[in-house]
Amino acid sequence: MENEIKLAGIVHVGGEGSTDVSAHEAAGFPRNLVPSPWEKLRFVFHDFANLPHDDEASVTSDALDCHGYKWSLELYPGGYGMDASEGYVSTCLTCSGIAFGEALFVKCCMRFGTDEVYSSAPSRLQVYTEGSRCWRRAIKREDALASDDKDPRRDFLDDDGCFTIDVDLQIGTPRPPSSKPADSIKADMAKVLDMACEENSDVAFQVGDRTFHCLSGLLQVRAPELYALASEYDKRTPIPISGVCPDTFQLLMLTVYGGEIPGDKKTFDVLKALIGAADRFGCTKSKHLAEHELVISNSIGVDNVAELLLFADGANCALIKEAAIACFLSNPNDVRKTEGYARLKESPHVLEELLFASAEAHEKRPASPTPPERDYKRMRVSDLRLKLDGKGLDVDGSREMLVSRLGEADAAEAAAALTGVDLGGCIGEVQRAISYVQNMPEVAAEIDGGSGVSVNNLVRLKALILQFETNLEEDIPSRGGSYAGKNIFHIMKDGLNATHSNYLLLIDMIHKVSDFLLDIRDKETPNLDNLVSIIEKVFGSAGTTQAMARAGDTG
């Protein structure tokens, strides 16, 4: 579809004349620039046939204004450089007015001939800087001078012998500044809560002498236990809530509606009460928000740390427990003198956690064979929650629950990946290594350097993978066709003889084979590498120990 292009200017070189406008369309600017409207410059060179046409002889137009810059066209009737040797007319478009350091993006299309006949050069993007020029090959000189006796309208020169060059120009202009509107959802939701009443809500809770009106859809997402409770009552009947003071419930509703905890509410007792209520009603986000505020409030100290340890254990507040354990380890003797410690001694498993944490703090931890991104036992609670949230999994629970949940997720991902592993390709890569060792023993020995890539070890590895392949093809159907859950550990043990205690030896052997093939023939082993990644996912995270124990495989 053609759109009329504004004629920005016309210049006659060696005479005068008239013109009208043609159309053109193009695009392709960087994303930070907005294409301007197309504008046309028309350059008319009079008495073209008699213009100097020796090699590199030129005629230059006056400058025309367009898009805020000045443009002039230099015409080489006999061509310039290579164009001259091939019989072409050359042009050079020059832009002036470009500031130092400025880069002007220009879309340019040149067209040659009369109003009826155009020979168009394709539009293209040109970056102009101070002093730069745009060279274009026009048309063959003999074509420009030729005439069509049968149809004069097909001539490139007009009746007066003028040669017309139209230049359609479009420049990239800076995109107008724009800022993302401020997110007002929290403030808006707080207003919704403040305006809640019987007419605009579908659930009501009676807490003491106060009634709280809410939206059931929001409760379903952010307070599932309250939503389940509401489903048991008629919508017109306020639901009685006991064991929570009205102020705590009001604060809980504020966080359920996405609000922040006000500064005057960030006290130890208020936050603790809010955490208890949020845990009771399944308001995970509210609970974790209050946990975070309590931990950063610096209110955990010698006098209350024992009490907090018991509270965190009962409410599965992993973040508070992590901070409380750190506080205890820094002041163990002082904590033992508090009243809360007497009650703490009545919880054997919490004391066991403290003893284990104390032993770890005083022992140098060995380097972990597990990749850092899956070394869940050494991660902080906040990082564990982030990983679980990224996988769309439940982020609430004790530290042990979080670690186990991530380990099970890794095992499930590895189980799913088993369907895509090419065991035939793995066998082929091992067989290639066997052939090299057998046929080039001296070279192989020199490359191996005694690392263990022997024929016997390679044959054992090949047999293991063959066994694994058979297990997947024949034994899996007997397990209901499932790779997931506890079956993944049985599959690894039955097929690869791999357990948590020896999987690193298997991975080490596969790595040696891969390195050997890379050294001897510069051949990568994508299939073996894929198998290693699956084994690492099953056994390599600290969370799989609990999962394996539940599967009956602690080998």
Cα distances (Å, whole numbers) of residue 240 to 153, 233, 333, 440, 546 = 93, 10, 45, 83, 40
Strand partners, 13: 45
Per-residue pLDDT at 24: 41
The ranges assigned to domains in the chain are 6-174, 185-299, 416-550
Q: What is the mean pLDDT of residues 83-102?
A: 88
Strand partners, 64: 71
pLDDT band per the 50, 70, 90 thresholds, residue 2: very low
Q: What is the pLDDT of residues 28-86, one digit of tens each?
A: 788 888 888 989 999 999 999 999 988 789 999 999 999 999 999 999 999 988 888 88
**Is the distance from CB of 41 to CB of 167 less than 8 angstroms?**
yes
Per-residue pLDDT at 396: 93
The overall average pLDDT reported for the chain is 82
Give the residue among 310, 301, 275, 299 at the shortest CA–CA distance from 289: 275
Q: What is the pLDDT of residues 109-123, one digit of tens each?
A: 888 875 444 544 555
pLDDT surpasses 70 at 167: yes
More confident residue, 20 or 465: 465
pLDDT band per the 50, 70, 90 thresholds, residue 147: confident
Q: What is the mean pLDDT of residues 397-409?
A: 89
User: If one looks up domain 6-174 in CATH, what number appears?
Assistant: 2.60.210.10
Per-residue pLDDT at 256: 94
Domain 185-299 has CATH 3.30.710.10: yes
Cα separation, 414 vs 408, in Å, equals 10
Cα separation, 236 vs 199, in Å, equals 11
pLDDT surpasses 50 at 449: yes
Per-residue pLDDT at 76: 92
Q: What is the mean pLDDT of residues 409-422?
A: 76
pLDDT surpasses 80 at 451: no
Query: Does the model's pTM come out above 0.75?
Result: no
Per-residue pLDDT at 7: 63
3-state per-residue secondary structure call for 152-217? HHHCCECCCCCEEEEEEEEEEEECCCCCCCCCCHHHHHHHHHHHCCCCCCCEEEEECCEEEEECHH
pLDDT surpasses 70 at 544: no
